[in-house]
Structure 1
Amino acid sequence: MRFSGGVIPAGAEDPVEEEENVEYDFHQDIARSSFADMLHDHDRNQKYYRGIRAAVGRVKARGEPVIVLDIGTGTGLLSMMAVTAGADLCYAVEVFKPMAQAARRIVDRNGFSDKIKIINKHSTEVTVGACGDMRSRANVLITELFDTELIGEGALPSYEHAHAHLMRAECEAVPHRARVYAQLVQCERLWSWAHLRPLSVGPSQLLPYRALDSCAGSHAVCDVQMSQVPPHSFTALSPRLTAFTVDFSKAVSSEPQTHRCRFVAQCSGQAQVVLSWWDICMDPDDSIVCSMAPSWTYEDPSSAPWRDHWMQSVYFLPEQSAVTQGEELCVSVSHDDYSLWYSLQPGPAPRPSCTCLAHVVWNRPRFGELNDQSRTERFVRALRQVLRQDSVCLSVSDGSLLPLFAHVLGAEKVFSVESFRMSRQVIEQLLEANDLSGRVELLEGQPEQLSRDDLQGLQVSVLMAEPYFSSSLLPWHSLWFWYCRTALAAHLRPDAVVLPRSASLHVAAVEFENLWRIRAPCGTCEGFDVTAMDEMVQRSLDFRESREAEPHSLWEYPCRALTASSAVMTFDFTRCVPQEPVSSRGSLSFTRSGRCHGVVMWMEYELTEGVTVSGGLAAPVGEQGQCQWSPHQKQAVFFLSPPQDTPADGATQLSYTFTFEPSLRDIHMDFNILPAQ
C-alpha cells in the first residue's frame, strides 16, 4: 500500500503558476477542511434528527404545511432529515459554491431534489416572493451556524435577519436555544499562554515590560480540546456558571450585550482564566441536548462524545487578581455580533485588544514556549559551552530571547536580525525593561541581506537560532535557518560555532484515538448517501500530484505509537546547504498491533554536544505506546488513506523515502506498508 506527500516550506516559490494560485488555495481549503469530522459526529447528527422530527411534528399538529429554511446547509444533511421527517418543502441555503454544488448532487442521489431547493447565496441575500428565492416564509428554521465560540460564524446577524425577513412570526427553531457556560479558574499552564513570566538566565532574571504584564492580549478565541487539560492542572474558583442563553425561536439581536454572573468563590487563588463552552437544546423542553462540555464534567468521561469542529474556549483575563474563599464576585461576559470576552468587573468591559504588541508577534504556543524554564535552561547550558569573552553573536530567529541570554551570559557583542518591525519593537521594550538598551544591536532586513557594515566590520563567532520563524507551519520549515546560515557564510569566522549545530527529522507510525475522523471517508451518514463529499475532497487532492502532511497540536489528540520513533534525516548546520537533493530510505517495524492511521513527523535540534531540544516527543514512548507531545509546537501528520491494521509480529513494516530538494526548499515523502523482507 503506497502513500505519497510533499510540502513547500515558507520562503519557497510555488511551482503553480500565479494565475492558478487562487484555484490552488481553494482546492487546498477543501482538502484540509474537516467536513468529515462533522459528518462522523453521530451524537450531533442524532440529536439534530430528533429535534427536527419533533419540530416538524409540532407544526403538523397546528395543521400547517411544513416549510423549512436550512441556513448553512453544507451537505444538505439536515434538510434531508427534515424531508424524511415529513417536511413539505426545504430551502437549503449555502454560500460556499463548491459545497452548494456537492449538496445538489447529494440531494439528487438521495431522491429529494423535488422537495429540497439549494440556494447558493448568503442567507441575508435570500429574497421571498413570487419571483424570489423562496415562494413564502418558512415556519421551521434549521441552522448549524456555530463555532467553538458559538457566535463566531455570524450566527446572531444571520438569525436576526432570518426572523425579520424569512420566517413566520410563529415558527419552530432547531436548535431551539443555546446556553453558554463559564468557569473561573487559576491555571498556570494556561496563563503561560498569554503572559510572559520572569525568566532565570543563570544568576540573572529577565523581566517582562510593564505594558506586556497588564495587556488584555488578543481578542481572538483560544479554542482547545479542553478534555486534554486535566482538572488537577487547575483550581476552580467558581462553580460552572450559565453565562447567558439565546432563544433561537424568537427574534434575535446582534447588538452588543453584557451578561453578569454573580457567585461566591469556592476557594482562594489567583483569578486568571475563564473556561467556556456551550450546549444547544434541540427542543423547547430541553429533552434533547447536545453538549460541548469537556469530558471531565461527565460522570463517566469515556462517554463524552468527541468532536473537533466544536471545541471549548479559553479566555484570559487582562491581569490576574487574588480571590478569597467565600468572597462574592461577578464574572461578566460581553459579546458583539462575532465574539465573546470576559471580565471580573460587573459592568461592560471594552473588547480586548493588544496594546503591548507581544500578542501580535507571539502566538499562544509561542508564549508557552518562551515561558518553558526547562527549555530556557537547555539554551543557557548550550550557550555557556560556546560563549567566550570575545564572542561576537548573531541571532537570526524571529522575536527570540536568545540575544538577551547571550548578553547576560557574557558575550562581548550581540547582534540580532529582526525582519519584522513589530517583532523588533517587542525586543526593544524587553531590552529597555531589563536595562539592556544598546547592549544588543537590533538589525533590520533579511539575514541574507546583511553587509559587513551592518556587523560593524566584525566576524561572527557564534551564529545562533532557536530556530523559530513566525511564518513556519510544518516542523521542517525551520530549515530556513540552514539557508540563512549558508547566506551568512562570508560573515562567519573560520572557527565559528553554529547553534544549533544540526537538526534531525523524526518519524513514528501511530494509531489515533479520534483525530483520524477528520480525514475518514464520509460514505453514508445517518442512512443518507453523502459520497459526493468524498468525491469533492478527492478532486481537490488530485489537483496536486501528491497529498501533504498537515500541522496538528498533538498534545490535544491522544495517539499510540505503533513503531519506534526514529531519526530519518539529519541536517548538518555546520556546513552549507547542499546543491544536490539528499535522500533517505529505510523502514520501521510495527512493534505494537493496532490500526495505523498515519505517520507523525517532528524536528529535534542538537544545540551543542549533549544538549538537545525536541519539537515532538516530550518524553519516551510509554510501554503501551502512549505519546506525550510538546505543547509548544505543532507536529506534522501524514494521514494514510486508507488506514491499515498492523500486527506486532514483525511481519509488517513502514517503509519510507524522504528527499530534501535544496533548490525548492521542499521535502518529499513516500510511505509503503509492506510485509517485512
Structure 2
Amino acid sequence: MGSSGSAAQRMFQLKLDPLTGNSEWVVIEENEAPQEESQKPLLATTSYLDMLNDSCRNRAFRQAIDKTVTNACHVLDIGAGTGLLSMMAARAMSHDDSSTSSCSKGRVTACESYLPMVKLMRKVLRANGLEKKVRVINKRSDELEVGVDISSRADVLVSEILDSELLGEGLIPTLQHAHDNLLVENPQTVPYRATTYGQLVESTCLWKLRDLFNNEAKALDGVYLVPSGADTVLQIKEQQFAMHCDAIKEEIKLLSEPFKVFDFEFWKRPESYRETKVHIKATNDGTIHAVVSWWLLQLDNEGTIFYCTGPRWICHPSSETKSKSSFPGMDNWCDHWKQCVWFLPEKGLSVHKDQEICLGASHTETSISYKVTTPLEKKDVGHCEPAQIFLSPERIAIYGDSNWRCAMLNVIKNALQQEVSPMCVVVDDSLFLPVAVANLAKSSHVIALFPGLREKGAHYLQAVASANFYSMDHLEVLRTRNQQLTMLDTHQRKVDLLVGEPFYYGSENVLPWQNLRFWKERTMLDPILSKNVLIMPCKGILRACAMYLPDLWRSRCCLQDIEGFDHSVVNSTLGACGDLPADEEGPCLSFSIWQCGESKRLSDTVSIMEFDFLKPISSCSGTAQVVFTESGICHGFVLWIDSMMDCSTELSTGPDKRYWKQAVKLLKKPVAVGSRGSTLVDCYSTEIKVSFDHSSGDLDIKYTYS
C-alpha cells in the first residue's frame, strides 16, 4: 500500500562519524517535529536545492506540462521529489474541475521512494493547498500495481529522473516497467525525448586525471605505483565522469564537431541495450584524449521546448535544433547536471585534420560507453583482479603529480635518515606511502592499516613489490583491525614513524576537516608510539579566503516561489545557505572551487588555526581578520587545510589546487566589499571565528563585518 503518513511509519538513515569512519543506522520517525535539529541536515548534501533553483529547468517543465495536460486525465509523476511537477499537472487540469469531480479520471499520482522526501513533499502540498489533488505513494515505481496502488493506468507520465550521463538514475528500467504496467498504450510524456551528443577533445589537464602510467614515468623518482606490465593495477573506472567542462574550455582543443549518439524516447518502451557506430571527421590535428558528452531534452512532442546540458562552446549540428537561444540550460551554471567525460585508453589516439574516426558507442540500462578504433586496443579490464584498485580521477592526478611526489619523497628520506631500522605505520589508505617507505628503507618494517582498502590494499602491495624492489617480508597489512592497535600488532616494537597523506578511500567528497580522522587515528595509536616518534603530517593549518561565487550562491539560496508554487517549507531540510533568516545557519559545502562557475578571490589567504598532530586530538579554536584586497561582491568564504609534512614542507589543498575539494561557507546575503579607500562598499574586512569539536568532528564558523 502507498504511504499514508501514519505516525507509525519510520525510516532508517545511515549516519557517518567522519573521525572514525564508522557508521550506524538511526531511526527517524515519520511524525518528527519539522524543525527538530536532528532532521535539519537530512538532505543537506543532496542536489535537490540546486535543481529547484534551476529556473530554466523549472520553466521548461512547466511550459511542457501546460501544453500536454490540457484536460482531465490520470497523470503519474515518478520520482516526484518535492512534488513540483505533480503540482504543475494538477494546476494544468484545474480549469476542468467540474469534469474531474464527476469522474475519477482527473487525478495526479506522485510516486516517491525516499521517505524524507515524501515527508517534505506532503508539507509542500499542504502549503500550496494541493494535498487533496495529488495522491502521494511512498514506493518505488516498479513496486506499484494497478488495482492495488493505483486504480487505473496513467494517461500522462511526467518525470525527471535524469543525471549528468542521462541514464544513471535508472531511466531505462523505470520507463520499461511504466510502459509495461502503469501507462496506457501510446501515453503522453513530459519529457518527450532525450538525445545524447559528444565531441572529441584533446586536453592535457583532463589527461592528467587518466594517465598515471605516463605521468609517473616522467617523474623519474623510482617509485612505481603502476609498473610496466601492471599498468591496470591502479586506475579509474571505465565510465563517464561528470565535470564542468566550461571551467577548462581554454585548456581544451576541439578535434571534431558535435555529433549525435543516441535518442531515448520517453513515449515508448526503450531497449535495454543498443550499439551504434558514429563516423566523425577530425577538424584539427591532435591527440584524442576524451569524449565530452551532454544531452538535449525535448520536453514536448512538437519540438518547441528544450533544455540542454551542453557546454557553452557548442552549436548543435542537428536540423532539429535552431539556435543556441532555443535551449534553456546551456548558459546557466548548475551542479545537478554537468557535462560528462569519457577517457580513451593508453595514450589516446593521434589524428590528422579531415581523418575519419569510427567511434563505437553502446548503452546498458544505466550507462553509456565509447570505444575508438585504434591499433593500440586496451586489453579487457572489465573484470576486477584481486590487486586492481579503482581510484577517483583526482587521486590519479595527485599520484601522477611530480611536485607532490617529490615533496613526499623528500620528507620520507629526511625522516628515514634518523632511524636505522624503523617501525613505520601508514594509518590511512595511502598507496604511495607504504610503497615509498618500503622502497627507500629496506630494513624498515611497514604496517599499512588500509581502513578502507583492506584486503585489496594487501593484494596491491604484493603486485607492485618486485617493481619497487622491496620484500613483502618487511611490509604487512593488518587483516583484522581492532579499535586500538597493541604492541602485539607491531611485534612488540614501538612505532618510530607514523605517516598519512591523509587520504581515506571512498571519502573523496568530505569536508576538509573530516580528514582530521588522521588525528583521531594518531591519538588511538598513542600508547604504542615511541618517545621520539616522527609524525607526518605534523600539523594541519586551517586557511581561508573571501570569494566572489555568484553561480554557487544562486544555486544554494532559499527557495520561495517556483513557477507559482511556494517552496519555503523545504529550505531548512534541503540545506539552503543564502537568504536565510537571521537565526539560521546554512551548512558548509564540499566543492572544488574551479568547478563552481564564475569565481574571483577578494582577499589574501589567512591562517585561522592549527591542528597539532604531535599531540592527541583535542578541541581547538582560532580567529583571523580577512582584509579585502579587491572590490566586488562577496558571496562567501572558502576554507581548506594545508598539511605541514615536516617543519619546512607544506602541501596545500587550496582553491588553486585543482585536484582537491575545499569547504565553502556561503553568506546569508552577498556583501559589497573593497579595500580601504574604495567607495560604495559595505565593509573592508571581516573577522572569522572557528571552533573545532573533537568529539563530533564538526567545525563551527562565525563571521562579523567591519
2:513–2:697 Cα contact (<8 Å) kept: no
Counterpart position of 1:422: 456
Q: How far 1:422 moved relative to its partner?
A: 0.8
Q: How far 1:567 moved relative to its partner?
A: 1.2
- Separation in structure 2 between the aligned mates of residue 212 and residue 356 of structure 1, nearest angstrom: 13
Matched, 1:100 2:107: no
Matched, 1:46 2:78: no
Taking the TM superposition and a 5 Å limit, the aligned residue runs for 1:128-277 are 128=146, 133-134=150-151, 136-197=152-213, 198-199=216-217, 204=222, 206=224, 208-209=226-227, 210-213=229-232, 217-218=236-237, 221-230=240-249, 232-253=250-271, 255-277=272-294
- Return the letter of the residue paired with 1:634: K
2:288–2:351 Cα contact (<8 Å) kept: no
Counterpart position of 1:572: 612
Q: How far 1:467 moved relative to its partner?
A: 2.3
2:606–2:624 Cα contact (<8 Å) kept: no
Matched, 1:553 2:592: yes
| CA spacing shift, 1:667–1:431, aligned 2, 3 Å | same
Counterpart position of 1:482: 519
* Counterpart among 687, 691, 703 of residue 655 in structure 1: 687
Any unmatched runs of 5+ in structure 1?
A: 1-6, 618-627
1:254-288 CA distances to partner (integer Å, 9 max, x unpaired)? x2222221223444544443222111012234332
1:79–1:116 Cα contact (<8 Å) kept: yes
Matched, 1:363 2:363: no
SS in 1 for 2:335: coil
Higher relative CO (Cα under 8 Å, sequence separation at least 6) belongs to 1
| CA spacing shift, 1:649–1:358, aligned 2, 3 Å | farther
Taking the TM superposition and a 5 Å limit, the aligned residue runs for 1:454-603 are 455=490, 461-470=496-505, 472=507, 473-488=510-525, 494-534=531-571, 536-537=573-574, 548-558=587-597, 559-573=599-613, 575-577=614-616, 581-603=619-641
Counterpart position of 1:9: 18
- Return the letter of the residue paired with 2:399: L
Q: How far 1:187 moved relative to its partner?
A: 3.3
Matched, 1:77 2:114: no
Counterpart position of 1:286: 303
Q: How far 1:645 moved relative to its partner?
A: 1.8
Mean Cα deviation higher: 16-25 or 199-208: 16-25
| CA spacing shift, 1:350–1:532, aligned 2, 3 Å | farther
* Counterpart among 608, 616, 635 of residue 662 in structure 2: 635
Q: How far 1:585 moved relative to its partner?
A: 3.1
Q: How far 1:552 moved relative to its partner?
A: 1.9
Matched, 1:668 2:699: yes
- Separation in structure 1 between the aligned mates of residue 314 and residue 651 of structure 2, nearest angstrom: 35
Counterpart position of 1:624: none
1:595–1:643 Cα contact (<8 Å) kept: no
Q: How far 1:673 moved relative to its partner?
A: 2.3
TM-score if structure 1 supplies the norm length?
Answer: 0.82
2:255–2:283 Cα contact (<8 Å) kept: yes
Mean Cα deviation higher: 193-202 or 379-388: 193-202
1:215–1:356 Cα contact (<8 Å) kept: no
Matched, 1:441 2:475: yes
1:551–1:637 Cα contact (<8 Å) kept: yes
- Separation in structure 2 between the aligned mates of residue 666 and residue 463 of structure 1, nearest angstrom: 21
Q: How far 1:610 moved relative to its partner?
A: 3.1
1:75–1:106 Cα contact (<8 Å) kept: yes
Counterpart position of 2:334: 307
Any unmatched runs of 5+ in structure 2?
A: 1-15, 97-105, 316-323, 677-682
1:533-591 CA distances to partner (integer Å, 9 max, x unpaired)? 2264479999xx98643322222114333443211111233x3216x643323433444
- Separation in structure 1 between the aligned mates of residue 409 and residue 560 of structure 2, nearest angstrom: 53
Q: How far 1:604 moved relative to its partner?
A: 0.6
Q: How far 1:154 moved relative to its partner?
A: 1.4
Q: How far 1:146 moved relative to its partner?
A: 0.9
| CA spacing shift, 1:103–1:94, aligned 2, 3 Å | same
- Return the letter of the residue paired with 1:394: C
- Separation in structure 2 between the aligned mates of residue 304 and residue 429 of structure 1, nearest angstrom: 47
Q: How far 1:345 moved relative to its partner?
A: 5.5
| CA spacing shift, 1:267–1:357, aligned 2, 3 Å | farther
- Separation in structure 2 between the aligned mates of residue 338 and residue 25 of structure 1, nearest angstrom: 34
- Separation in structure 1 between the aligned mates of residue 391 and residue 505 of structure 2, nearest angstrom: 8
Percent same amino acid among aligned pairs? 27
Q: How far 1:114 moved relative to its partner?
A: 5.6
Q: How far 1:412 moved relative to its partner?
A: 4.2
- Separation in structure 2 between the aligned mates of residue 121 and residue 489 of structure 1, nearest angstrom: 49
Mean Cα deviation higher: 350-359 or 30-39: 350-359
- Return the letter of the residue paired with 1:549: C
- Return the letter of the residue paired with 2:339: Q
1:606–1:613 Cα contact (<8 Å) kept: yes
Mean Cα deviation higher: 555-564 or 43-52: 555-564
2:621–2:691 Cα contact (<8 Å) kept: yes
2:334–2:555 Cα contact (<8 Å) kept: no
1:100–1:120 Cα contact (<8 Å) kept: yes
- Separation in structure 1 between the aligned mates of residue 546 and residue 139 of structure 2, nearest angstrom: 43
- Separation in structure 2 between the aligned mates of residue 464 and residue 132 of structure 1, nearest angstrom: 57
Give the aligned CA root-mean-square deviation in angstroms.
Answer: 3.9
- Separation in structure 1 between the aligned mates of residue 489 and residue 389 of structure 2, nearest angstrom: 27
- Separation in structure 1 between the aligned mates of residue 262 and residue 658 of structure 2, nearest angstrom: 32
2:526–2:616 Cα contact (<8 Å) kept: no
Matched, 1:117 2:135: yes
* Counterpart among 366, 380, 387 of residue 338 in structure 1: 366
- Separation in structure 2 between the aligned mates of residue 172 and residue 270 of structure 1, nearest angstrom: 44
- Separation in structure 2 between the aligned mates of residue 51 and residue 21 of structure 1, nearest angstrom: 37
- Separation in structure 2 between the aligned mates of residue 308 and residue 439 of structure 1, nearest angstrom: 48
Q: How far 1:10 moved relative to its partner?
A: 2.5
Q: How far 1:505 moved relative to its partner?
A: 1.0
Matched, 1:614 2:652: yes
- Separation in structure 2 between the aligned mates of residue 501 and residue 353 of structure 1, nearest angstrom: 40
- Separation in structure 1 between the aligned mates of residue 501 and residue 163 of structure 2, nearest angstrom: 34
- Return the letter of the residue paired with 1:31: A
SS in 1 for 2:313: helix
| CA spacing shift, 1:563–1:302, aligned 2, 3 Å | farther
- Separation in structure 2 between the aligned mates of residue 536 and residue 19 of structure 1, nearest angstrom: 17
Mean Cα deviation higher: 463-472 or 506-515: 463-472
- Separation in structure 1 between the aligned mates of residue 279 and residue 455 of structure 2, nearest angstrom: 43
Mean Cα deviation higher: 395-404 or 216-225: 216-225
- Separation in structure 2 between the aligned mates of residue 201 and residue 392 of structure 1, nearest angstrom: 26
1:93-140 CA distances to partner (integer Å, 9 max, x unpaired)? 2323343343344344434456443343333333445x7524x44333
Q: How far 1:52 moved relative to its partner?
A: 2.2
- Return the letter of the residue paired with 1:335: H
- Separation in structure 2 between the aligned mates of residue 361 and residue 425 of structure 1, nearest angstrom: 13
